[in-house]
Amino acid sequence: MLLIHCPYCEDTLPELEFTYAGEAHIARPADPSAFSDEEWRDFLFIRTNARGPHYERWRHIGCGRFFNALRDTVSDRFLMTYKAGEARPTLTQEAAE
């Protein structure tokens, strides 16, 4: 069972307290009606499906907050977590190890 760091609670807690919430940094467009069918299809359904580091959203059930994480889909490990709304961090060498 993984241990996950909630950036709001500033505590590292067992996986049981968290749920996965899909890929991160896919913002809902301000005006969906301006999207073509293809653009809207991509927004709804097309995902990175990364092998390796993957930006994704999690929710801490304890505090109810959604946050973002960078997780390696091969090792299943969390490389870092950060608050919703913060810019996509670049993967540093230390974090990757």
Query: Residues interacting with other proteins, by CB under 8 A?
Result: 1-3, 21, 27-28, 31-33, 35, 37, 40-41, 44, 57, 59, 64-66, 75-77, 84-85
Rounded CA gap, 90 and 96, in Å? 10
Torsion of CA 85, 15, 47, 94, to 10 degrees: 70
Smallest gap from Cβ 25 to other proteins, in A, equals: 10
Phi and psi at 32, nearest 5°, equal -60, -25
Rounded CA gap, 47 and 8, in Å? 26
Smallest gap from Cβ 37 to other proteins, in A, equals: 6
Q: Find which of other proteins, Zn ion, none residue 9 binds, CB within 5 to 8 Å per kind.
A: Zn ion
**Closest to other proteins by CB, 63 or 92:** 63
